[in-house]
């Protein structure tokens, strides 16, 4: 049963799309509309347009689009009902009673939250057992964590048993499949009837989201024989490793003071920093920083201080993180820890005061990259000097700001006694070459991106671009001319649509029109995914610029009719070919 239209109207009135999106991204006025950097893909030039009067947004870069409900669903990875409830709470709009709406997705997440809470209690209780003493000793004596910190983060111990958690959780009424879905137990690859605990003999760290729910766990091996030093939950309905940041629930409150966040590699680095008073620290849970994680920080910080391990892997991860963060719009600096491999070790060796000074002296990303390029090169020799300068030109060529390029050009000129003009020429040559390469990549992406993206959402469209174009035109015509619905339905049926997504949209739209239901973008959120709603918005945006009247619509319908006739001819030819082959076989056999 759909939600009442008057409720949807009140919900959207209380949550204007420009206000809601403006709380996540920076909007710029463009006439009656707004533009912004798309929150769903990295870009330097705004391609996301918000139309307050039409109550929807559309990104021309990645194809995302929809109304305010679609935005909340996609941004927070929520289902339709969860997004509605979130907006209702935000706008103080009472939810309708007895809607009969299926809340299966929300109930599934709620069940996983409950399981994770019970599992966290179990892990914490195991610290007090005889077997848990070794884990407690590891946390307190080796890692130097206080009891208060252990409690604050809800740390615990996963016993050295393949069934301890499973037995406990099943005694509480949870099924094996539910525990598998929550990534608390696993099914054996070799014997699918056998299941076992996912975390065994590990120090445990609950993953807590911004609403206070435990969405998953990280476990640090306590045995030197375990080659997997860190093990994190698999992705579930509640946890997505590409989006989640460890300790952001604490860091977001601390970051508001100076709009800074410290980015670390490991959970224990973050916990040690938090204990030392640096509560604005987060970690990406065993994965390299992702675009989605970077975008999730934009609401809380402008400046990211990267504090990765000092080993080679950490340095590579640092360069990658710099690129992602700066493309997302952050000011980025890098901490260099001499005499320690990571923040946890640095704090133990030198204390919080020294670390605070280290943060103040953190290198800007350009200085970091230039220093890195200089490692292993003897710049006192001419060959070494030339080698380093070639590398340095590449760093300067990557700077978009002319002021920054000029500052570092002057520094190189003074240090090596080379004219600024010579350095500028080298840098500009690299920038021209980079632009040419980028133009080639953009052109290739222009040729392939739309098809690849469409292939994910409407696979048949890749094989049938002409029919897909016609189908979208018919759908748009119905959106704009609902009074012509009966006439259109006499001319074309859903079965004549070639692509399944367009067929579903057409069927849903016709049903809504014929039964006098709302057929705005909002009405499609309950039965279509956010990406599919984005396709609806995209076609409305595209065909709005064309003059699609009934005559044009008939032309689109003719395209589908022609395809159907060709298919019939092909099938008839195939049938005839099969018949002739069978006749020839019978003749040869003398039947």
Residue 52 is predicted with a pLDDT of 86
Q: What is the CATH number of domain 248-264+274-331+355-373?
A: 3.40.1360.10
DSSP state, 139? I
Contacts 24+ apart (CB under 8 A), 129-133: 129/157, 129/159, 131/157, 131/159, 131/160, 132/157, 132/159
Q: Which residues contact 395 (CB under 8 A, 6 or more apart)?
A: 366, 369, 370, 373, 408
Q: Which residues pair with 281 in a beta bridge?
A: 262
589 compared with 409, residue with greater pLDDT: 409
Topology (CATH level 3) of domain 5-91: DNA Primase; Chain A (3.90.580)
Top pLDDT among 41 and 196 is at: 196
Q: Which fold has domain 460-572?
A: DNAb Helicase; Chain A (1.10.860)
Q: Which two tokens stand for residue 433?
A: 């070459």
In sequence order, which residues have a C-beta less than 8 Å from that of residue 203 and are 6 or more positions away? 135, 138, 139, 155, 156, 157, 219, 220, 222
CB burial readout 477-507, b (16+ within 10 A) else e:
bbbebbebbeebeebbeeebbbbebbbbbbe
Which phi and psi (to 5°) does residue 201 adopt? 55, 60
Q: How confident is the model at residue 590 (pLDDT cuts 50, 70, 90)?
A: low
Residues 6+ apart with CB under 8 A from 23: 299
For residues 540 and 476, what is the distance between their CA atoms, to the nearest angstrom?
6
pLDDT of residue 99: 58
Q: Which pLDDT belongs to residue 583?
A: 65
What CATH number matches the domain at 113-232, 3.40.720.10, 3.20.20.60, 3.90.980.10, 1.10.10.10? 3.90.980.10
Of 192 and 464, the structure prediction assigns the larger pLDDT to 464
| Domain edges within the chain | 5-91, 113-232, 248-264+274-331+355-373, 376-449, 460-572
Kindly report which listed range (354-358, 365-369, 496-500, 548-552) carries the lowest average pLDDT score. Answer: 365-369
Q: How confident is the model at residue 153 (pLDDT cuts 50, 70, 90)?
A: very high
Distance of alpha carbon 201 from the chain centroid: 32
- The lowest-confidence range among 56-70, 278-292, 372-386 is 372-386
- The number of residues making up the chain comes to 591
Answer whether residue 443 shows pLDDT above 80.
no
State pLDDT tens for residues 166-225. 999 999 999 999 999 999 999 988 887 899 999 999 999 999 988 788 999 999 999 988
Considering only CA atoms, give the Rg of the chain: 30
**pLDDT score at 140:** 96
**CA nearest 207: which of 188, 231, 173, 171?**
231
d(CA 359, CA 343): 11
- Helix ranges (H only) for 34-103 are 68-76, 80-91
Distance, in Å, from the CA atom of 550 to the CA atom of 538, rounded to the nearest integer, reads 21
């Amino acid at each position: 049963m759909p939600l009442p239209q008057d409720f949807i109207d009140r919900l959207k009135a209380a949550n204007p799309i420009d206000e809601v999106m403006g709380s996540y991204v920076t909007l710029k006025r463009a006439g009656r509309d707004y533009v912004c950097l798309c929150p769903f893909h990295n870009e330097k030039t705004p391609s996301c347009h918000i139309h307050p009067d039409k109550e929807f947004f559309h990104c021309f870069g990645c194809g995302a689009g929809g109304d305010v409900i679609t935005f909340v669903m996609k941004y927070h990875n929520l289902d339709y009902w969860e997004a509605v409830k979130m907006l209702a709470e935000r706008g103080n709009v009472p939810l309708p009673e007895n809607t009969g709406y299926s809340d299966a997705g929300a109930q599934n997440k709620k069940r996983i939250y409950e399981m994770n809470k019970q599992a966290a209690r179990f892990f914490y209780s195991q610290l007090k057992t005889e077997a848990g003493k070794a884990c407690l000793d590891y946390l307190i004596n080796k890692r130097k964590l206080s009891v208060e910190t252990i409690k604050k983060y809800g740390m615990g111990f996963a016993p050295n048993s393949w069934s301890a958690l499973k037995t406990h959780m099943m005694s509480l009424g949870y099924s094996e499949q539910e525990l598998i879905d929550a990534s608390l137990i696993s099914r054996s690859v070799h014997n699918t009837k056998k299941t076992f605990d996912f975390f065994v003999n590990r120090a445990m760290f609950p993953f807590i989201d911004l609403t206070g729910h435990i969405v998953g766990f990280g476990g640090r091996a306590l045995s030197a024989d375990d080659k997997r030093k860190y093990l994190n939950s698999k992705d579930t309905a509640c946890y997505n490793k590409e989006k989640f940041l460890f300790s952001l629930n604490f860091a977001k409150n601390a970051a508001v003071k100076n709009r800074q966040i410290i980015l670390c590699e490991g959970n224990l680095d973050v916990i040690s920093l938090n204990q030392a008073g640096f509560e604005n620290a987060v970690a990406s849970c065993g994965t390299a920083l992702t675009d989605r994680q970077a975008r999730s920080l934009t609401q809380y910080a402008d400046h990211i201080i990267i504090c990765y391990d000092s080993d080679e892997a950490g340095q590579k991860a640092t360069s990658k993180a710099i690129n992602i963060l700066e493309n997302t719009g952050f000011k980025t600096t890098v901490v260099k820890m001499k005499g320690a491999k990571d923040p946890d070790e640095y704090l133990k060796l030198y204390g919080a005061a020294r670390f605070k000074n280290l943060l103040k002296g953190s290198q800007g990303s350009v200085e970091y990259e230039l220093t890195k390029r200089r490692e292993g090169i003897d710049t006192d020799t001419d060959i070494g000097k030339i080698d380093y300068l070639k590398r340095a030109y590449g760093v300067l060529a990557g700077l978009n700001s002319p002021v920054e390029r000029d500052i570092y050009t002057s520094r190189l000129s003074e240090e090596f006694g080379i004219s600024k003009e010579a350095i500028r020429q080298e840098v500009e040559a690299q920038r021209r070459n980079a632009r040419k390469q980028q133009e080639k990549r953009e052109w290739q992406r222009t040729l392939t991106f739309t098809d690849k993206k469409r292939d994910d959402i409407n696979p048949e469209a890749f094989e049938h671009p002409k029919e897909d174009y016609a189908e979208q035109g018919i759908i748009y015509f119905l959106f704009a001319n609902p009074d012509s619905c009966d006439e259109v339905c006499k001319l074309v049926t859903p079965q004549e649509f070639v692509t399944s997504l367009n067929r579903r949209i057409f069927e849903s739209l016709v049903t809504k029109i014929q039964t006098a239901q709302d057929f705005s973008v909002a009405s499609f959120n309950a039965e279509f995914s956010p990406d599919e709603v984005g396709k609806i918005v995209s076609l409305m945006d595209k065909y709005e610029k064309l003059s699609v009247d009934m005559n044009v619509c008939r032309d689109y319908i003719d395209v589908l009719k022609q395809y159907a006739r060709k298919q019939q001819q092909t099938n008839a030819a195939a049938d005839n070919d099969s018949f002739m082959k069978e006749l020839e076989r019978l003749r040869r056999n003398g039947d």
